[in-house]
Amino acid sequence: MRITRLGRHLGARIDGVDVGALDDSGFAGIETAFHDNGVIAISDQRLDPAALVAFSRRFGALEINVSASFRDKDVPYVNVLSNRRRPDGKYVGSPDAGQGWHADLSYNDVPARCSILHAHEVPMRNGEPLGDTLFASMSAAYDALDPATQRRIEGLRAVHDFAKFWNYMIREKNSPRHALTDEQRAEKPPVIHPLVLRHPFTGRKCLYADPGYTMRILGLAPEESDALLAELFRHQTRDEFLYRHRWRVGDVLIWDNIATIHMAAGGYRDDEPRHMLRTQVLGDPARYRGERLSA
């Protein structure tokens, strides 16, 4: 196993590994690299949906996404992200997932551990990959806050809502996704999380808010809440906190959903195929809930 650091705060590439043949020691090495780097890319894998699920489950229990439209037909824990089309013209997978800053599953009542995205096809133009994914370090962002702001946000809690990002994509990005049904809204109601979480593995304090799902801060007047969230959103995506992942076919990219927020860059056409498989790993409630995470 060869580990190469890629960014200042986030990002490492791992070579020389077959994730389908890892013993416990090999997986422990990957898990350590994941905690150390927040985002890791394991090179040169070729996993079908069942094999991706088998590997993903080593990190924890998996989410079945509330939207059934682009689940793998045989393996519901896998979502397909793709701009390829079926013969009837419909997309094979979600063509525009994640094109705005967010933390996956922050709309769950228990924060998620990680997401895993496996690249089967990467769009190319003039020999260069398209569709990068950007990440921002939430531990670095918290550490860089001035002490007065750190004190101000300690103990504050905010509402996260699945519908916020979904409706944004329809309203602002002309997404082909359908409006949420009443059943989907009932399945994912708004939840409340602290603005500052202590990471359950690394112990570092992380800013736990994101433009995609965080709606308002409890206990503040609407104008004060909006102003503070806008300030935090501007701060957390400053250039010095960012890592930009340039995809390779075969990458298995794993990112920490407390230590990072992320955004898909997009920028490719339908004739520049992108096809990826995604799993999302839930947080163990014994580690990821309540006072165990608070500052």
Q: pLDDT tens across 94-123, in order?
A: 887 778 899 999 999 999 999 999 999 999
Largest CA distance in the chain: 58
SS3 of residue 173 by DSSP: helix
For residue 26, give the amino acid letter. Answer: G
Q: Which residue has the tokens 């608070």?
A: 294
Going by C-alpha positions, the residue among 198, 218, 217, 196 that lies closest to residue 207 is 196
Which range (18-27, 52-61, 156-165, 273-282) has the least confidence?
156-165
List 133's β-bridge partners, or say none. 245, 264
Tell me the helices (H) and strands (E) count for the chain, helix number first. Answer: 8, 17
**Separation of alpha carbons 60 and 252, rounded Å:** 16
Write down the pLDDT at residue 173.
61
Per DSSP, the three-state class of 242 is strand
Is pLDDT above 60 for 292?
Answer: no
- The length of the chain, given as a count of residues: 295
- The runs of H, that is alpha helices, within 188-258 are 222-236
Residue type, 254: I
Q: What is the pLDDT of residue 53?
A: 98
For the cut 90, the answer to whether the pLDDT of residue 171 exceeds it is no
Residue 295 is predicted with a pLDDT of 43
pLDDT of residue 108: 92
What is the pLDDT confidence band of residue 290, given thresholds at 50, 70 and 90?
Answer: low
> Band of the pLDDT at 174, cuts 50, 70, 90?
low
Structure tokens at 132: 């990068």
What are the structural domain ranges in the chain? 2-287
Residue 32: which pLDDT band, with cuts at 50, 70 and 90? very high
Tell me what the pLDDT averaged over the chain comes to.
92
pLDDT value of position 68: 76
The model's pLDDT over 33-78, given as tens digits with 9 standing for 90+, comes to 999 999 999 999 999 999 999 999 999 999 998 877 889 999 999 9
Would the pLDDT of 131 be above 80? yes
Q: At residue 89, what is the residue type?
A: G
CA distance 188 to 63: 12
Cα-based angle 119, 36, 210 (whole degrees, multiple of 5)? 70
Share of the chain above pLDDT 90, in %: 81
The CA-based dihedral angle spanning residues 193, 158, 112, 295, taken in that order and rounded to the nearest 10 degrees = -50
pLDDT of residue 181: 78
Say what the pLDDT of residue 186 is.
74
| Mean pLDDT, range 231-255, rounded to an integer | 98
257 vs 113: CA distance, rounded Å:
6
What CATH number is given for 2-287 in this structure?
A: 3.60.130.10
pLDDT category of residue 238 using cuts at 50, 70 and 90: very high
Is the sign of the CA dihedral 217, 230, 178, 131 positive or negative? negative
Q: Residue 110, SS3?
A: coil
> What integer is the mean pLDDT of 186-200?
90
Q: Which residues are catalytic?
A: 102, 104, 262, 278
Confidence class for position 197, pLDDT limits 50, 70, 90: very high
Q: Report whether 281 contacts 113 (CB < 8 A).
A: yes
